[in-house]
Amino acid sequence: MPGFFLSKILYSQTKLNKHIAIIGSGFGGLASALRMKKLGFEVTLIERLGSLGGRARVFERKGYKHDAGPTVITAPFLFDELFELFHLKTKDYLDFKPLDPWYRFHFHNGQEFDYRPSIEDTIKEIERFSKEDAVGYRELLKHSERIFNIGYLKLSDKPFSSFWEMVKQIPSLLKLQSYLTVSGLVNKYLKNSFMRKAFSIHPLLVGGDPHTTTSIYALIHYLERKWGVYFCMGGTGKIIQELENLALSNGINIMKNTDVNEIILENNSVTGLRLNNKEIVNFNAVICNADPPTVYAEMIKGKRLKRTFKPEPLIQYSMGLFVLFFGTKKQFPSVAHHTIWMSERFKDLLKDIFQNKKLSEDFSLYLHRPTATDPSFAPQGCDSFYVLCPVPNLLGNINWEIEGPKLKDKIIKELSNTIMPNLEDVVEEVFWMDPNDFKKDYRSMHGAGFSIAPIFSQSAWFRYHNKDPQIKNLYFAAAGSHPGAGIPGVLCSAKIVEKVIKEDFKLN
């Protein structure tokens, strides 16, 4: 691979003689590491787990492969940017397949709705539910594009280090009705209850209740239309593997099975990190890909400087996730690659999850069937699945030792009764992650699936900043920091950190 050699030569010409650490190897961490390497830093990426990727790690059981977290790839050009840093082309390493349908919705009454790559095909699907909403959908898309032009093009790469930057955006945010919630906005344009549900789900993909998430997140409609919805052959784990190869080939040090216990401070600067083997390693700067609330509560010890975020009781966290992984000894070809299986209740179910924090009798699910696109995920003639069920985070008082096995049985039974007949007879290699696992494995505060929730008062300037306002060399590129969760969000977070570090280290 001549590109690797070329990039090594360029790297040695720009070496800065400064050492930077990245805590955590999620997409935000890996992207930060690559960007920092390109700037000329010596880079050490530290990950507490035995493999890289964070929520995007991979599980394998008896021939069944599962991406543990993200599966829907949007805005793939953000990966091009990472390969291009080293004069490489993504297409030589990764194969992104466009999907059709993007998602199949299965409603409680058995009706199905395919959300498809072409607007015309989507409109035909909407017309089966409501002619009026077919018109409304076009208007919703136009509104989403207007939000995208501000929210994505102007805000997603801004560091928001001063409140003034936020104030400057207020007139446009008001004009776009950002005070509305996503479902408030969708309901303005769509009247059919099924369509309202289907087009409101996007905040759930980044950890928010559509009934409380700011309508800025309705930009995802247009983002999907602009760049499409893809599956990476080999899975999201294949992207992680290729980014790891890219990091190693370019001299990034990777430490696995290494937990950062403490960020060591002296005179408002980070001087180094204390690792779980008690070793202290000195660094000139640190980027946290770890969950910001955990970083502040557990990794910065001793007397804190001024508070940098709301007090803990006021922070709203995303929901928890119960993720059920299994294989099937036969295939279910009628199940689409991405299926959203919805219960009758929507608003009240989400209220139980987000506000009441109680485990309801009913649930809504997202089903991933990678074998619909890539047979390598399961033995021949079999299917691999994961089912994601939003549940309360650990602020709800749920005993997962007891409730986990019960929920597993209920989900398998419901799927067996609806879109996967006789699933109970062919299911095998079943295991799951509950919010306790998110806390234990990823050190996610309260076991939240996506860090803090994307409500208005926790977005942009109000979210964890990409640079600590008081500690001069501590940065954040993570789902809990601006702009937020989801692969595009954390990849943009790393871009912002690069901008800020360039300024701080005078690398422009």
Residue 63 DSSP one-character state: T
Interface residues for ligand FAD in 194-213 (CB under 6 A)? 205
- Which residue lies nearer to ligand FAD by CB, 134 or 353? 353
Under rule CB under 6 A, residue 262 binds ligand FAD: no
Instruction: Give the binding-site size for ligand FAD (rule: CB under 6 A).
Output: 37
- Which residue lies nearer to ligand FAD by CB, 69 or 483? 69
Under rule CB under 6 A, residue 398 binds ligand FAD: no
Can you tell me the distance from the alpha carbon of 259 to that of 126, in angstroms, rounded to the nearest whole number? Answer: 49
Can you tell me the distance from the alpha carbon of 282 to that of 261, in angstroms, rounded to the nearest whole number? Answer: 14
Under rule CB under 6 A, residue 48 binds ligand FAD: yes
- Which residue lies nearer to ligand FAD by CB, 112 or 441? 441
List % helix, strand, coil for the chain (3-state, nearest 5): 45, 20, 40
Under rule CB under 6 A, residue 452 binds ligand FAD: no
Helical residues (DSSP H) of 45-85, grouped into ranges: 77-84
Q: Considering only residues 28, 40, 327, 404, which one is a binding residue for ligand FAD as defined by CB under 6 A?
A: 28
Q: Considering only residues 387, 490, 496, 497, which one is a binding residue for ligand FAD as defined by CB under 6 A?
A: 490
Locate 22 and state its tokens.
């990245």
- Which residue lies nearer to ligand FAD by CB, 173 or 254? 254
Half-sphere exposure of 506 (CA within 13 A, CB side): 0
DSSP per residue over 242-261, as a string?
A: HHHHHHHHTT-EEE-S--EE
Can you tell me the distance from the alpha carbon of 97 to that of 230, in angstroms, rounded to the nearest whole number? Answer: 5
Under rule CB under 6 A, residue 72 binds ligand FAD: yes
- Which residue lies nearer to ligand FAD by CB, 190 or 389? 389
Q: Considering only residues 388, 426, 445, 492, which one is a binding residue for ligand FAD as defined by CB under 6 A?
A: 388
- Which residue lies nearer to ligand FAD by CB, 102 or 189? 102
Q: Give whole-number Cα distances, 255 to 24, 43, 282, 381, in Å.
A: 10, 11, 15, 38
Sole window of 51-59, 214-222, 375-383, 415-423 interacting with ligand FAD (rule: CB under 6 A): 51-59
Please choose, from the candidates 384, 358, 388, 362, the residue with its C-alpha nearest in 3D space to the C-alpha of residue 373. Answer: 384
Under rule CB under 6 A, residue 21 binds ligand FAD: no
- Which residues on neighbouring strands pair with residue 20, listed in sequence order? 43, 285
- Which residue lies nearer to ligand FAD by CB, 129 or 238? 238
Q: Considering only residues 70, 76, 234, 404, which one is a binding residue for ligand FAD as defined by CB under 6 A?
A: 70
- Which residue lies nearer to ligand FAD by CB, 102 or 346? 102
Least distance in Å: CB of 28 to ligand FAD? 3
Q: Which amino acid is at 71?
A: T
SS3 of residue 463 by DSSP: coil
Under rule CB under 6 A, residue 184 binds ligand FAD: no
Least distance in Å: CB of 234 to ligand FAD? 15
SS3 of residue 296 by DSSP: helix
Q: Considering only residues 201, 260, 270, 372, which one is a binding residue for ligand FAD as defined by CB under 6 A?
A: 260
Under rule CB under 6 A, residue 479 binds ligand FAD: yes
Give the nearest residue (CB) to ligand FAD: 26
- Which residue lies nearer to ligand FAD by CB, 40 or 54? 54
Half-sphere exposure of 417 (CA within 13 A, CB side): 9
Contact map string, positions 334 to 373, toward ligand FAD, x by CB under 6 A: ----------------------------------------
Can you tell me the distance from the alpha carbon of 411 to that of 138, in angstroms, rounded to the nearest whole number? Answer: 35
Can you tell me the distance from the alpha carbon of 396 to that of 417, in angstroms, rounded to the nearest whole number? Answer: 29
- Which residues on neighbouring strands pair with residue 266, listed in sequence order? 269
Under rule CB under 6 A, residue 323 binds ligand FAD: yes
Q: Considering only residues 234, 293, 449, 454, which one is a binding residue for ligand FAD as defined by CB under 6 A?
A: 449
Quickly tell me which residue has 């000329």 as its tokens: 40
- Which residue lies nearer to ligand FAD by CB, 236 or 473? 236
Under rule CB under 6 A, residue 25 binds ligand FAD: yes
Quickly tell me which residue has 């789902």 as its tokens: 479
Quickly tell me which residue has 């409609």 as its tokens: 221
Under rule CB under 6 A, residue 71 binds ligand FAD: yes
Under rule CB under 6 A, residue 46 binds ligand FAD: yes
Under rule CB under 6 A, residue 220 binds ligand FAD: no
Least distance in Å: CB of 478 to ligand FAD? 4
Q: Give whole-number Cα distances, 501 to 78, 249, 442, 497, in Å.
A: 19, 23, 26, 6
The values of phi and psi at residue 35, to 5°, are -65, -40
State the Cα angle at 97 between 449 and 51, rounded to 5°.
45
Gyration radius of the chain's alpha carbons? 22
- Give residues in contact with ligand FAD (CB under 6 A): 23-29, 46-49, 54-56, 69-72, 205, 259-260, 289-290, 299, 321, 323, 388, 442-443, 449-450, 478-479, 485-487, 490
